[in-house]
Chain A
Amino acid sequence: MSKSESESRENNEIESENRILELAKSKPNGISNNDIKTEISNIPPEVWTKTVNKLLKTGVLELFKDKGVLLYKYKDPSKKTEVKGSDNEEKIVYKIIEEAGNKGIWIRDIRFKSNLNMTQLNKVLKSLETKKFIKAVKSVAASKKKVYMLYNLEPDSSVTGGAWYQDQDFESEFVDILNQQCFRFLEGKRESAIKLGGGPLMCRNRSYVTTTDVHKFISELGISKVQLSVDDIESILYTVVLDNKAERTVNSNGEYLYRAIKPFLDPPGVVRTTCGICPIVDRCGDSGLINPKSCKYLTSWLND
């Protein structure tokens, strides 16, 4: 695809979005596919159908059916959603949940604030949930507890656990990969600093990196589905330090600097035998089933 073509396509998409929004705003009762076709005939169908899908997804348009015809209705995001067709109780609960913001609120606290009994409250919550006014989000803080918040809100990272949680589960593989990649980056820096030559001091100083450097590297790798912040990378880098694979110092701006390092020692002799790492060493003796003469661990280690 040539450049001009792709540009015109982009223009098309922007125009299509504007025109459809205009149309929808002008008809509060909803617009049908036919309306769009006739009103913006200059835009090809494959473009505007894409636009409609996008708008539906972002919640700017709402889909509903009237007498067998599909209609799209404009939903003003700036206007507070009216809890239509709700009774008073629903309104009160809605308000309590709204106040809790994106941190959400526990059912116990809603009950406490609303003075409703449990059965009532459950009914109200269920109804609000089916109408998609609110949603229940599992909190990482306490595994079995749910918090409620407004439907369109993005839960706070204290609830989701931030980048490291996927549906409440800690993504330890993801963290491990990042840990390895961060170390790889530091190690690469160290090696290239050695290759560059110069005096040993320069060599050492060249092997230092800032968190921002590492952040850039990780972002460019594209291994992360979620956007990682510099702070996220800082946490990962600290685990590399704790693994004794890197050291951390502070530069004159108060920024952390990291550098790959090597240990003083190889694993000590005592853990190079099976006995040094044996999980049943306490039960191992001269007599009895577990003994060094017939031990299978030792046998396979000896035959290695």
Chain B
Amino acid sequence: MSAQQGLVVRLILLERFGDIVANVGEIIFQNPNSLYHIAKSTKVPLGKVKEALSILIKHNLASFKLNVDGITAVYTLNIKNVFLMLRFPKFINLIKTKFDEEVEILVEEILLKGCLTGSEVILKATARLQENKNISVLIQQLKDKFASLVTAKYVIKLSTPTMKEEDLFALPNIDLKKLLIVLNGGSETLSDAGVYWTINFDRFHQDLRDQLIVNAVTNKFDENIGELMRILLQQMYVRTAPWVPSSNPVPILEVKEILKKRNTHSQLITHFEQYVNILEQDSTGIIRKVGEASGGSYQIEMKHIFNQLVWETIEHIVNEKFDSKASRIFRLVRSRHYIEPEQIQNLVMIPAKEAKRILYQLLEENFLVVNELKRSAPNLGPNKSFTLFHIRLDQIIRNIMELCYKSLYNIMTRRQHEKYLNKRLIDKKQRVDTITHGMRVQGISGDPVLDIEEMITPPETEILNRIGKMLQKLSLTELQIDDTMFSLEMYLMYD
């Protein structure tokens, strides 16, 4: 928890839920607090604080427990979940590619509300999809799709302490007849009232993690090995819990069979054994052969993979922040663990002066640390001490996390500022759009619509385009910074 992190948390809450929730969130970010204290420190009326807290709790952004006095509740902010909101676009995208647009809408609705009952999700999705469709067919489809989301564990039942493990993914009883009544304006108690569902982030993270690995392997080797890795990971789940550092052995013939059946990568099938060899022999140790029986079986070394990826991430950062000479030095220190400055100069082939300058920079920004070693036998020769350079990975990761928070904060601040500067124009555009949309719905077209549209002058359109691009770039960057945070989180998870 750092101050910088707090600033980002505040901004995220502010963008999604407004001022009051952001203020309340800020207070409980700093310290878990009781309702009374929150109201006092935020100077927000008690009623509003209650509202804000209920929003936070509904989105699983805050939790509460009984205070030591045994009467009041203490509220805590779930910081991790606040940051997860930055990742929502990725979750939605993932579902869209894995399922289809209708499933995407189901997920979107749950993300939007934090948690919903199965019937509520279907009602909301139906409202968005009903145009030109037979309602009773649609709700049947949506019910099935919701069920497949539950089976694949992308959504999870909001748990109470007494709930059993196996109940978390038990399908709800959704009565479509009652749903139809509600849809037609009637009132009816829905069959699954009170059974709330929320997004199972853990499941999404498994997918994002696997995607990251497959992409990395594809980059380094080729499409074929990427596909091999993908199927290996897929088969990993058959006999391994999702987050163990080193998987249980996967029989390689099983992988081969699957590839043969799919028949998408002919090269990979023809030279299957060779590709497996290449992946196994690579110095980074992604998979490890553990059994010879029936063609051999392999462990996937998750912890190892993320160790490798996080190092490469940091090397890239050194490279971009300083230059290629600095990353050369950094890699040398990494490979030698402890190394003297003279040795560094000789091996990296950089002029002594420059090497010194770079070493100093890396030290100053904490990418390297110095260990002084006193010579143990002082009577031998001049009493000299050794200077050894060294890397403290945990420290660097902490610093990079901070850098991510800071960059995120700056980028988000800038995005809001650009919006604010052009607020008048953006609002005008929105008004015009609403009006013209309304006219089209009423069947009006031609000149009257054009007249309204022309209220936005060409120079204004140009500015709007420019701003649009800018905002897009800023949003994309936020997602990319989150990517970096994700790989660091994965490393820490296995560490």
Contact = CB atoms under 8 A, between A and B. Distances in A.
A271 B482 CA distance: 12
B8 to A, nearest CB: 12
A1 B230 CA distance: 67
Interface stretch (A62-70, A110-118, A145-153, A196-204): A196-204
Nearest to A239: B349
B317 A199 contact: no
Interface stretch (A44-52, A72-80, A97-105, A256-264): A256-264
Contacts of B275: 200
B219 A268 contact: no
B86 to A, nearest CB: 12
B247 interface: no
30 contacts: A164-B349, A170-B352, A199-B271, A200-B275, A201-B271, A204-B278, A239-B349, A242-B335, A243-B324, A244-B312, A261-B220, A263-B312, A264-B219, A265-B216, A265-B219, A266-B316, A267-B316, A267-B319, A268-B313, A268-B316, A269-B479, A270-B480, A270-B481, A270-B484, A270-B485, A275-B407, A277-B320, A292-B410, A292-B414, A302-B470
B30 interface: no
A235 interface: yes
B410 A275 contact: yes
Contacts of B205: none
Interface residues of B, number: 60
A239 B410 contact: no
Contact of A242 (B328, B470, B481): B328
B413 A276 contact: no
Nearest to B332: A242
Q: Mostly helix, strand, loop or mixed at chain B's interface?
A: helix
Given A200-B275, A247-B283, A270-B400, 4 more contacts: A164-B349, A242-B331, A268-B480, A284-B406
Interface string B262-283: 0000010001001101100001
A281 interface: yes
A273 B347 contact: no
A281 B403 contact: yes
B349 A175 contact: yes
A210 to B, nearest CB: 18
Interface of A: 164, 169-170, 172, 175, 179, 199-201, 204, 235-236, 238-239, 242-244, 247, 249, 261-273, 275-277, 281, 284, 286, 292-293, 295, 298, 302
Contacts of B220: 261-264
B428 to A, nearest CB: 22
A272 B347 CA distance: 30
Contacts of B217: 264
Contact of A276 (B317, B324, B328): B317
What 9 pairs across the A-B complex have the smallest Cβ distances? A269-B480, A292-B410, A271-B320, A275-B407, A264-B216, A170-B351, A268-B484, A270-B484, A201-B274
B35 interface: no
B219 to A, nearest CB: 6
B246 interface: no
Contacts of B328: 239, 242-243
B22 interface: no
A303 B380 CA distance: 63
Interface string B442-456: 000000000000000
B487 interface: yes
Contacts of B473: 302
B350 A172 contact: yes
Contact of A239 (B216, B320, B348): B348
B211 interface: no
Contacts of A244: 312, 315, 327, 331
B430 interface: no
A104 to B, nearest CB: 20
Nearest to A263: B312
B309 A273 contact: no
B316 A277 contact: no
A293 B335 CA distance: 41
A299 B51 CA distance: 39
A261 B485 CA distance: 26
B466 to A, nearest CB: 9
B363 interface: no
Contact of A268 (B284, B317, B348, B414): B317
B232 to A, nearest CB: 16
Contacts of A270: 317, 400, 403-404, 407, 480-481, 484-485
